[in-house]
Structure 1
Amino acid sequence: MNIVVDVASWFARPENWSGSGGIPVRFAEHVYYSLLALLIAAAIAVPVGLLTGHTGRGGFLAISLANFARALPTIGVLTLVVLGMGLGLVPVLVALVALAVPPILVNTYEGVRGVDPQLTDAARGMGMRGGEVLRRLEVPMAMPLILLGLRTAAIQVVSTATIAAYVGIGGLGRFIVDGQSQQIIEQILGGALLVVVLALAVTGLFALLRRWVVARGLRARSAAASSA
């Protein structure tokens, strides 16, 4: 019970909410690193997933590379990049992008490949060209899985962006790393709690986004498939 009181006391200290090392600034830094890494990963993985899923070519290679990248330890990737490039934001982004690309790529590919072939044949029979079939049929049908991949990647990135603190960058990981070095347990737990809150906020945002961009029928269909 004392630790709960200590953590609450840490949050209540005014000095933790002001200055360049305060909670608002560290929170904003964490969001910035995470969002930047997610956008870069999506810019890489979504087009590749759409292209390979639509054409059926290169899918095995893309998925194999994605699964290989998924198996790499993020902290190990960060260490190697730091050794090659030095400290800074770039090594952190490289490690986070490598973490985020696999779930986005795999889910985008599987979403497009999972579209009923009879629907694509019917669309082509109506005179749609390849690009129109992808844009007007396959992408909307695959959107639940694409968003799932983006959500998974976002949560992983938010949870792992704490590694930025190990190479001298800010973010919420700063509270954890500094707390460990100074043996301040309430600061470590406070930083970890902030990361959990941010991850929950990301989950909520993607739930709202899903309701906005996914048709109601597709939402019901994907919910039934996941509960089956």
Structure 2
Amino acid sequence: MSKTILVTGAGRGLGRTLAQRLAGGGDAVVAHARTAAALDGVPHERALIADLSDPASLAGAVAAAGIDRLDAVVHNAGVLNVAAVGEETLEWWQRTLTVNVIAAAELTRLLLPALREARGHVLFLNSGAGLNAAPRLSSYAASKHALKALADSLRAEEQANGVRVTSFYPSHFDTDMQRGLRDQYGAEYDPERAMSTETVAKTIVDLLNPPADMVVNDLRAEPPNPLPIKPRN
């Protein structure tokens, strides 16, 4: 049966691949991006145009999208900066926590009535950094640890309403963010030793379609032989 699924950050990378896979399977995609132009070529039935760095704008954007019933939301959008604690700027701390956590919390709050109506599913795209913080990833890892806390609290609060909550922790998959991270570290990158966006998107689709008597609360995934993040020789 067709579902209505909102994907944040649908204009590029994993979000675009996921939107394509969902639409190809017959689901109605609500695609989020900062601008309508970013959704050119992305299959979707409705758009949610909003800047996640301005969470106060989300209420108006959700109202404009007219979402009354929602089977799932995939919190995919996020930002990352590589810097030691002693060098990370206040601006990046604020931006990372706002986009990766506060906007996700506010968007979830606004969508809860529609999710409860459908007994829907909230999937948070987390990261290995949400379980173990590496050097020079303090702001990003802190945001992902906070995202885990958000998911855990939401799960406990909404179980009685039939809303499922999943945290998915994929590491080392082939995206612009992973390439940018490696560049900032001055590290080698080999896409052959990373998961593909198609693999990660397929896994998300599977997580959103569990048996009626099961939900996956947490899932950790990585490629069989990931390339370590270390400076080039």
TM-score, normalisation: structure 2: 0.28
Task: Identify, as 1 or 2, the structure richer in strand.
Answer: 2
Q: RCO greater where, 1 or 2, for CA within 8 Å and sep 6 or more?
A: 1
Larger radius of gyration: 1
Task: Identify, as 1 or 2, the structure richer in helix.
Answer: 1
